[in-house]
Structure 1
Amino acid sequence: MARRRLAGKVAIITGGGRGMGAATARLFAEEGASVVVTDVDDGLGGALADALGPHATYVHHDVAVEADWAALIERVEAEHGHIDVLVNNAGISRENSVDDFSADHFDLMVGVNQLGVMLGMRAVAAPMRRAGGGSIVNIASAAGVRGEPELLAYTGTKFAVRGMTQVAASELAQDDIRVNVINPGVIDTPMHQQNSAERQEWLVERIPLKRFGRPEEIARTALFLASDDASYITGADISVDGGILLNRR
């Protein structure tokens, strides 16, 4: 029988109702984890947890709200006794430029993409210490490695996630809590599908592998970082992008 890499582990996946989060939840469940799917879309999140079976639960959870994190951690510890993995996946995107952006959209994006990651890392630090260690996987973006036109606020939040990952990895290493970040390129998710046909054509031409990524390809990278196979990896900054960052156009 093949080894299940997350057997006995408890994993929280934010924004787990669809896209990369849902793919990660499915894979983690297949690999033996007890999966806690969180989202603000109760329909999608609840349906996914039901489909994954008795070792999956859904919790309504706004990552930008500190009280939601406290309630989530209290519930997960009460039901499972420990927390081993957090995948900070929840994120939103809005197109905007230097000359054209909304302060309200900016605040919303910072709240979900940046504050949400910071609150998540802080929330799981103490439970992971009690468990003897753990793994935090933050999801940033290729746009957080090299700025993209028309994505001013989004790019800023994703650069921030990469920087916060380095700080947290340094601070939490003494507790055997590993913190790493994945930078997805253009992944075929509902968020990406909102792009116009013209923008999608422009994007795929910039990707050396000439295709969009699949959510499962991000999930497999998250699985590696969450598992003991990555036991000596912390502070890593991994781009899963089809080579788009090689393209200087």
Structure 2
Amino acid sequence: MRPFQALVLAGSRGGPDPLAEAAGVTHKALIRLEGRTLLARVVGALREAGADRIAVSAVHPDVRREALVLGAEVLEAAAGPSASVEAGAAALGTPLLVTTSDHALLRPEWIARFLADAPADADVCALLARRETVEAAVPTTQRTYLRLADGHWSGCNLFYLATPEALGAVRLWRRVEAERKKPWRMAAILGPGILAAFVLGRLTLIGAVARLGRLAGVRAAAVATPYGLAAVDVDKVGDLELVRKLVGEAQAADI
């Protein structure tokens, strides 16, 4: 397996987090499943997958303390995930695997398969799952899907920055993120070609990623995962209930 560093995004959106409040903790990353925090589960999976160095990007002092207990480095989260990734890449270098602290079901074999399937000439890769793959693994989950000409796709909160050039994609992400409340400006950044192909139903996943890569000046690739559970994270109370059920069933099966 290729050696890599890992960055876990565990920042705060600002204001109270309803999910953390419902679970009785100060931050979503500190929710416990079978005695372990979400952050501990993610860091553990990264370590099992062979990460040489693991850092957690966070602001909340409780999360920072938990990261240190887990043996991870702590980085100051920036204003937004894209800026945090850029800062993390500056601190850790590449190749860098990026994920989130709410990726509660993360497994080392998913990471290994992602890195194995990442094209050798790509600067940056994103892991995605087909809708049918997700629903075959967990029919009850409700995900947000990107509807493209070659199917419906869900993100898996796993990104691989293989080379320093990958920061070009992060900088494009920052520009789009900064305009997220102004769709017309986002459209201007992405350009009419991408938007027209999407509206006309002609944009495939490979085509979309290739076009975005050219726009960012990088070689970008999408990697399809065979693991439907890789698309499940903890964004809302229903997600947490589902993940608790799945983790409980897995624990019972191991007994």
User: What range is the shorter-chain TM-score in?
Assistant: 0.3 to 0.5
Using structure 2 for the length normalisation, give the TM-score: 0.37
Bigger relative CO (Cα 8 Å, ≥ 6 apart)? 2
Structure (1 or 2) with the greater strand fraction: 2
